[in-house]
Structure 1
Amino acid sequence: LESELFGHVKGAFTGAIRDKKGRFELADGGTIFLDEIGDISPAMQVKLLRVLQEGHFERVGSEQTLKVDVRVISATNKNIAEEIASGRFREDLFYRLSVVPLWLPPLRERRHDIPLLVEHLLRQILADAGRAGVTVSPEALDVMMSHDWPGNVRELQNWLQYALVKCRGDRIRPEHLPPVLRGATRLPMPARRLRKLDAEAVRAALEAAGGSKVEAARRLGVSRATLYRFLDGMGR
């Protein structure tokens, strides 16, 4: 991460075959967006604080100090107040970043945004896939409106991609949506009900989780051990 943000010089580490500018240097005079800011290490927090306070940094492996003028926008899905209280996030860094704070409620608390988000995301997905003219039926939209969306907008985007793969026509209907949305595996689900879980729901959860069994178990509302037992029964 340090090399990505601040760059490095040739020979700074194995694989550093040439000088490389970091994101801050590339963004000089403009804006840089730092996502998941709550996950950075304490050591990186110190380096980031220095850039915000002084506008100075060094590339990895270099003693030359560089100066930049960058506007920083950051985001996190963590409760920063709790992170500060636990000592995992620096309070001084928080106040440096929190000039104009914005809080975005989870998608389940702003369901009225779902139709607009579906329209916007579907347009993007269709463009990337080289398709056009596909819309979402009112019945499918009703299903989406009733879901709690623990993964927020990213989950919505994933399931729209899933539906588009299933849909061979020009209208996404409830049957094109994954079982998780249709109610076959409504979350959260007690582990004792896993035997009633069909293989399609498990495959859909694994697909949405990028193959991660830990994330798939979270989406299904079961423990990892329970999911592993189910997968063993499927011969996976």
Structure 2
Amino acid sequence: MARAFVELGVCQALLAERRLLTHVLDTLEEGLIVHDHARHIFLFNRAAERITGYSREEVLGQNCHHIFAPDGICSSQCPFKEGEEGSLRRDDVVTFTTRDGEDRRLHLRMAPLPAEPGRPPTVLAVMRDVTEVMELRFRLSEKYSFHGMVGRSAAMREIFQTIRQVTTSDYPVLITGESGTGKELVARAIHQESRRRGGPFVPINCGALPESILESELFGHVRGAFTGAVRDKKGRFDLAHGGTLFLDEVGELSPAFQVKLLRVLQEKRFEPVGGEESRHADVRVIAATNRDLSALVREGKFREDLFYRLAVVPIHLPPLRDRREDLPMLVEQILSEIRKETGREHLRLSGQALEDLLAYPWPGNVRELINVLQYASIRAAGGLIEPENLPLPLRSEAERPAGRFKLSRQRVEEALQKSGGNRKAAARMLGVGRATLYRYLEREKKSTSRRGAGRRRRARKGANRGDDLR
């Protein structure tokens, strides 16, 4: 009897301890989830209920990937499936869809819990909703930079916002824009913001490879598939499994290859060259081109069905000449990189050199700007980049050889007349920097003064000759 009372007391003490522990866990701000080696959840506190929208009764005993379909609480990169205890640790920000269908950003920390010898470990996941914090950080920083891209123009702010919106799905994205506008940067930003950020980002330039090699590069091949195939090789679709595949210059694909790519996008399956086994393509496809695919569709050079498969979410990058207000920020970003590479901490751009950059049309876009600043940094002996350090096509009119001025007296007079004498507005109309227009006007003033002085001298000489004749 005494033993029964002792055992009853122990049980009551254990139950009281369990209730106390549950109460303590429920007071925490962080959501806590613990599941076993089979992903069955056996701990789910109140904060986890609030963050996910699921009740404890719905979740306990359920498989994490079943209740939080399709990829579990940790999105597609579940560290638990790797099978090694070291791989169970994770500290990352993931996108999670609540029971109400709302996408939230969660800071997720995962770690294995100690287990008895011979038993598989259990996993603790600690999560905090950081959606509002990240939104605030984005709003504070969107004027300055976003995953290596800088810009405060309306066009770039719209692109930043679109990138954040498309990261909650795996729909294909088509990025268009001239060469050098930064299409791969946008693709990488989409990957880094998405739930696939823990997976690989695999780029391939479709226009740089012959079709026979491109097929092997994308889909892989088996041993003996062709001469030189001495072993099996994984393609980019395999290498990008769980991540993002970036198809650059997709407008260069041949009609025959477009059919093969369309099949993969439709069926999510592919076969290696020379192989018979069909493989699942668990990738997000982002394509890019500097060509007008709509025009190619109309000309019959690009499949319309493939175009619509790729362009579920279209993003167009404007050329640099259409977002000149971003140029000073781009210059500072590039110069910062040059300072780090060269150790020249005081390297900077003069005001007139910046005026010349603003007046240039930039056919090569940001890539050309990088090249120009690297060149100028070499030419600048001191720490200040002056107009004479720039490549010849970018130098202001005063620095160029004769006969290459963009300005003329007629154009300047018309611009000043239209602007009501406002030189700043006139410079904008002429497509040159304000200082460039000022120098031109000063030069014209001196030239007019010299011509007037010459006429007066000639008049005096004529008058003197008349006196002599008399």
Could you tell me the TM-score, scaled by structure 2's length?
A: 0.37
Give the alignment of 1:1-236 within 5 angstroms: 1-127=214-340, 129-133=341-345, 134-182=347-395, 184=400
Residues 33 and 121 of structure 1: is their aligned pair in 2 closer, same or farther, counting only changes over 3 Å? farther
| SS of equivalent residue, structure 1 residue 61 | coil
1:20 is paired with a residue whose SS is coil
Deviations 1:31-89 (A, max 9, x none): 12111111122122111111111111122222221111111111111111111111111
- Name which one, 1 or 2, has greater alpha-carbon Rg: 2
* Higher relative contact order (Cα pairs below 8 Å, separated by 6+ residues): 1
Further displaced range: 68-77 or 84-93: 68-77
The alignment of Structure 1 onto Structure 2 pairs a total of residues equal to 187
Instruction: Report the alpha carbon displacement of residue 168 of structure 1 after superposing the two structures with TM.
Output: 3.4
Rounded Cα–Cα distance in structure 1 between residues aligned with 2:389 and 2:383: 12
Q: Which moved more, 1:160-169 or 1:35-44?
A: 160-169
C-alpha separation in 1, matches of 2:308 and 2:374: 38
For 1:182 and 1:117, locate their aligned partners in 2 and report how far apart those are by CA, in whole Å: 19
What is the rounded CA distance, in whole Å, between the counterparts of 1:41 and 1:86 in structure 2? 14
Which ranges in structure 2 are unaligned for 5 or more consecutive residues? 1-213, 407-470
Amino acid of the residue matched to residue 343 of structure 2?
A: R
Q: Which moved more, 1:2-11 or 1:97-106?
A: 2-11
CA distance in 2, matches of 1:92, 1:61: 27
1-structure distance, mates of 2:352, 2:238? 49
Describe the shift of the 1:43–1:182 C-alpha distance in structure 2 as closer, same or farther (beyond 3 A).
Answer: same
AA paired with 1:73? I
**Whole-Å Cα distance in 2 between the matches of residues 84 and 53 of structure 1?**
19
Please give the secondary structure, in 1, of the residue aligned with 2:289. coil
1:154-187 per-residue CA deviation (whole Å, 9 max, x = no partner) reads 221222222223233322222221112115497x
Alignment partners' CA distance in 2, 1:50 and 1:90: 12
Q: Alpha carbon RMSD of aligned pairs, Å? A: 2.3
Matches of 1:56 and 1:116 in 2, distance apart? 44
Question: 2: distance between equivalents of 1:23 and 1:33?
Answer: 9
Change (3 A) 1:122 1:54: farther
Match of 1:230 in 2: none
Please give the secondary structure, in 2, of the residue aligned with 1:75: strand
AA partner of residue 82 (structure 1): A
Distance 1:182 1:16, change over 3 A: farther
Distance 1:13 1:159, change over 3 A: farther
TM-score calculated relative to the size of structure 1: 0.71
Sequence identity percentage: 59
Greater strand proportion: 2
